[in-house]
Amino acid sequence: MDFNYETIQVIQQKAIDMVFEAGPIILKAIVLLLIGRWLIKFLLRQLGKGLDKYEIDPSLGTFFKSFLSAILWVVLLIAVATTLGMQMTSFVAILGAAGLAVGLALQGSLANFAGGVLILVFKPFRVGDTIEAQGTLGSVESIDILYTKVRNFDNKVVTVPNGALANNSIVNLSQKPTRRVEMAVGVAYGTDLKKTRKVILDVLKKDERIHADPEPVVKFTSFGDSSLDLSVRCWADAGDLWPVYWDNMEALKEAFEANEIEIPFPQRDVNHYYPEGKKE
């Protein structure tokens, strides 16, 4: 019993000594971590204000903030590890070995990082552009260090890897200030195409959003199953594309009805054939 009691006392004393020795170091490391965390947030906020003040490209701003945040956190963790007594050479060796292992395991992430750099350098799109890529159509919300966030038109945010964007086709719908509006129109067989063309052009001329140069065109394209098919093409500002399309499709219907131009629908002729001698 004496031996056990004395052993317990020795263990307790050693534990107390370790607390007094290691306690200040651990407390110092915790304080350093908290201060460093606050400082990183403060620096990123100031950086964001500076980027806004000098009107830096938002695409570059979000990417640079993400990258700087990662670097600052690595520096902070090294400082905390050093405070806890870990030798810098040992820590760097461990960090290098861990970096190699992580690099092999995260080859896709490294490809995404490289893809983000390529996107920022060559600028196939910017924050705010409407793009179609990787099966997603929407507005670019941010270009981060590894991923690009695209908000589609039903307000869902799609996260697309930068590597996939940098190495595949991208359709940028916002890069040019004007867009072509194309409407498909069908009229019944027997309709006067010259009259129809004049009615369509008169409707388009009333819309001030449609550009006079290039001027609108109406071309006969094909003989459909139940209609003569026409292609109506005009140009408008990129932001007016869909309003121009919707408004003029409705206006064309009303103009056709007012000018007695028949809008066709699928029809079938049914003929009855009777055997010889049978009365109808």
- Give the chain's domains with CATH numbers: 2-105 (1.10.287.1260), 115-172 (2.30.30.60), 178-258 (3.30.70.100)
pLDDT of residue 6: 64
pLDDT of residue 239: 87
- Could you give the dihedral angle defined by the CA atoms of residues 87, 90, 95 and 101, in that order, rounded to the nearest 10 degrees? -160
Q: Among residues of the chain, what percentage have pLDDT more than 70?
A: 77
Sign of CA dihedral 47, 49, 51, 54: negative
pTM of the entire predicted model: 0.59
Residue among 180, 165, 179 nearest 124 (CA): 165
Ranges in the chain, pLDDT < 50 = 1-3, 104-105
pLDDT of residue 80: 80
pLDDT of residue 1: 46
